[in-house]
């Protein structure tokens, strides 16, 4: 057979194989979608069962609160709760129309629910009529508890039945997945035959993916920037609004204490106000420390490390070598956030008792290192973070994205002896302004 004939035969065989693979894949995907739809349906039923429990408990709680307080405003909430309960049960019946046993259980559940609602309505009517007595309410409550036990038992029975269905349907999903995998493996051979065409398509996909990753990084940088802006805004609001109101309240109570110096309640209130002011100031400064804008990175780092050491049981060693000029605002913020996130991870996850912080802002690069003596990061998480920026949690991924955005590099080394986080960024100094008007910093009353 001539080469051209062999090529035609190969092409015809490839087309036949492609057709066979397409039909097989279609059948496998159709079956997989059907099984997944049933699995999703089972989960919807379980979710509806849980919603019945929640709405029933809420209605019962509102009935109890009204019986105790007589607050008429609770009645509208109670009516809404009862209406939602009936709607949820109706939805559950609709979901179980394919299962006669569960549908019968739903009918029984509806009957018990109506009995419970009738008892609660009776309790409320008794309270509203003004003839409510403790003995009468207790009798109704015992009847409600009896219906609640029957209802809970029935709900558990229905949930167990759905759980069994879920296991069975998930087995079907796994089987369909295996079939689909086999089809994809066979399709790989076709991909090899049509390699040249696939190569051109792959090149286009790589270009599109590169553009998508660039857009994703741009979006991530924008999100982080907006996050910093919101932190700054919330910090300012806490300081200027909540903090000042607390300070004014403290001054008013202090004046009142001068008239009543022996009043222990006033002293307790002042102590609580002092604690609230201190906590508000700490939260405000952690969101965005004003010292970072006013005094620079080195001062903010010293303040944060000192406060972190007091709040945690971790012993901290700080070594700072700062240059004569301040870094650009974006660089200072990024390095501070890296320090903040690193020490937070040290406290929450590492189990470390000691950490070393080194900050160098001299020369062409600024360098921050945080090293602890904890139990380290699992190898699989660390590898995932290095390869694609995931697996280490939002904090580590956010640190890496922040440093990458300003042209720097984040390196994480970890073993059983501890973890070392190093951030290196190119130095950019702040542009000197021709005229600066100092802004007073208004501190909260201590």
Average pLDDT over residues 323-341: 83
Residues 148 and 22 in one domain: yes
Instruction: Give yes or no: residues 170 and 308 share one domain.
Output: no
Q: Are residues 180 and 325 both part of a single domain?
A: no
H/E/C letters for each residue in the chain? CCHHHHHHHHHHHHHHHHHHHHHHHHHHHHHHHHHHHHHHHHHHHHHHHHHHHHHHHHHHHHHHHHHHHCCCHHHHHHHHHHHHHHHHHHHHHHHCCCCHHHHHHHHHHHHHHHHHHHHHHHHHHHHHHCCCCHHHHHHHHHHHHHHHHHHHHHHHHHHHHHHHHHHHHHHHHHHHHHHHHHHHHHHHHHHHHCHHHHHHHHHHHHHHHHHHHHHHHHHHHHHHHHHHHHHHHHHHHHHHHHHHHHHHHHHHHHHHHHHCCCCHHHHHHHHHHHHHHHHHHHHHHHHCCHHHHHCCHHHHHHHHHHHHHHHCCCEEEEEEECCCCCECHHHHHHHHHHHHHHHHHHHHHHCCCEEEEEEECCCCEEEEEEEECCCCCCHHHHHHHHHHCCCCHHHHHHHHHHHHHCCCEEEEEEECCEEEEEEEEECCECCCCCCCCCCCCCCCCC
Residue 275 is assigned to a structural domain of this protein: no
Identify the CATH number of the domain in which residue 335 sits.
3.30.565.10
Distance CA 259, CA 254 (A): 9
- The answer to whether position 221 is within a domain reads no
pLDDT tens per residue, range 277-287: 767 766 766 66
Q: Look at residues 158, 193, 228 and tell me which one is the last residue of a structural domain.
A: 193
Residue 18, pLDDT score: 66
Candidate from 55-59, 178-182, 268-272, 353-357 with smallest mean pLDDT: 178-182
Residue at 271 is within a domain: no
Candidates 143, 110, 120; CA nearest to 62 is 120
Q: With respect to residue 104, please indicate whether it lies within any of the assigned structural domains.
A: yes
Clarify whether residues 184 and 303 are in a common domain: no
Q: Report if residue 253 sits inside a domain.
A: no
CATH number reported for the structural domain that contains residue 102 in this entry: 1.20.120
Domain count within the chain:
2
User: Is there a domain that residue 65 lies in?
Assistant: yes
- Please determine, for residue 102, whether its predicted confidence score (pLDDT) is greater than 60: yes
Instruction: Inform me whether the pLDDT recorded for 144 exceeds 60.
Output: yes
pLDDT tens-digit series, residues 148-176: 898 889 888 888 888 887 787 777 767 76
Flag whether 162 is in a domain.
yes
pLDDT score, position 434 = 47
> What domain range includes position 28?
10-193
d(CA 444, CA 243) in angstroms, rounded, equals 6
- The reply to whether 181 and 298 lie within a common domain is no
pTM score, whole prediction: 0.42
Q: 437 in a domain, yes or no? A: no
Whole-number pLDDT of residue 274: 76
Percentage of the chain exceeding pLDDT 90: 3
105/99 Cα distance (integer angstroms):
10
pLDDT-derived band at 358, boundaries 50, 70, 90: very high
Tell me, yes or no, whether 168 and 316 share the same domain.
no
The pLDDT > 70 percentage for the chain reads: 72
The length of the chain is: 446
């Amino acid at each position: 057979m001539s080469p051209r004939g062999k090529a035609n035969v190969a092409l015809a065989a490839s087309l036949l194989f492609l057709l066979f693979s397409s039909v097989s894949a279609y059948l496998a995907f159709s079956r997989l979608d059907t099984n997944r739809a049933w699995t999703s349906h089972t989960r919807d039923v379980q979710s509806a069962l849980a919603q019945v429990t929640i709405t029933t408990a809420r209605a019962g709680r509102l009935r109890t609160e009204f019986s105790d307080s007589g607050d008429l405003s609770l009645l509208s909430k109670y009516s809404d709760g009862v209406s939602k309960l009936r709607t949820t049960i109706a939805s559950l019946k609709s979901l179980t129309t394919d299962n006669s046993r569960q549908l019968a259980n739903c009918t029984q559940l509806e009957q018990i629910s109506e009995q419970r609602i009738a008892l609660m309505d009776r309790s409320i009517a008794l309270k509203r009529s003004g003839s409510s007595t403790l003995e009468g309410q207790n009798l109704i409550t015992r009847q409600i508890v009896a219906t609640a036990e029957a209802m809970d038992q029935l709900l558990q029975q229905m949930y167990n039945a759905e759980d069994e269905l879920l296991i069975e349907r998930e087995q079907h999903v796994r089987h369909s997945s295996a079939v689909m995998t086999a089809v994809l493996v066979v399709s790989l051979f076709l991909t090899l035959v049509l390699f040249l065409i696939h190569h051109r398509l792959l090149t286009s996909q790589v270009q599109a993916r590169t553009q998508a990753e660039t857009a994703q990084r741009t979006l991530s940088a924008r999100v982080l920037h907006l996050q910093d802006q919101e932190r700054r805004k919330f910090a300012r609001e806490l300081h200027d609004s909540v903090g000042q109101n607390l300070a004014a309240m403290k001054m008013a109570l202090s004046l009142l204490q001068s008239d009543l110096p022996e009043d222990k309640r006033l002293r307790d209130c002042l102590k609580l106000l002092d604690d609230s002011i201190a906590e508000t100031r700490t939260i405000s400064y952690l969101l965005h420390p004003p010292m970072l804008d006013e005094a620079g990175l080195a001062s903010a780092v010293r303040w944060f490390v000192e406060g972190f050491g007091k709040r945690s049981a971790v012993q901290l060693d700080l070594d700072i070598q700062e240059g004569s000029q301040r870094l650009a605002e974006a660089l200072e913020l990024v390095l501070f956030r890296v320090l903040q996130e690193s020490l937070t991870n040290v406290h929450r996850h590492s189990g470390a008792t000691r950490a070393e912080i080194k900050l160098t802002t001299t020369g062409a690069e600024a360098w921050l290192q945080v090293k602890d003596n904890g139990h380290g990061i699992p190898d699989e998480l660390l590898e995932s973070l290095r390869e694609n920026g995931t697996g280490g949690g939002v904090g580590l991924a956010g640190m890496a994205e922040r440093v990458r955005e300003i042209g720097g590099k984040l390196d994480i080394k970890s073993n059983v002896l501890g973890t070392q986080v190093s951030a290196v960024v190119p130095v950019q100094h702040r542009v000197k302004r021709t005229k600066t008007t100092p802004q007073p910093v208004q501190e909260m009353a201590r």
